[in-house]
Amino acid sequence: MPEVIGQMKNILTIREQDIVPGAPVVDAGNFRTREAARAVVPDGAGKVALLRVGLYGYHKLPGGGIDEGEDVPTALERELLEEIGCKAEVAGEVGEIVEYRDQFEMVQTSFCFIANQVGEKGEPDFTEKELREQFSIVWANDIDEAITLLESDEPTNYEGKFIRVRDLALLRAAKELAK
- pTM (whole model) above 0.85: yes
pLDDT at 6: 58
Q: Which residues of 72-96 are buried (b: 16+ CB within 10 A; e: fewer)?
A: bbebbbbbbbbbbbbbbebbebbbb
pLDDT at 179: 77
Across the 179 residues of the chain, what is the mean pLDDT of every consecutive 10-residue run? 64 96 94 97 95 98 95 93 93 96 96 94 94 97 98 97 98 92
Q: Which amino acid is at 86?
A: C
Walk me through the domains of the chain, giving residue ranges and CATH numbers. Answer: 10-178 (3.90.79.10)
Pairing of strands 32-40, 106-118: parallel
pLDDT at 7: 79
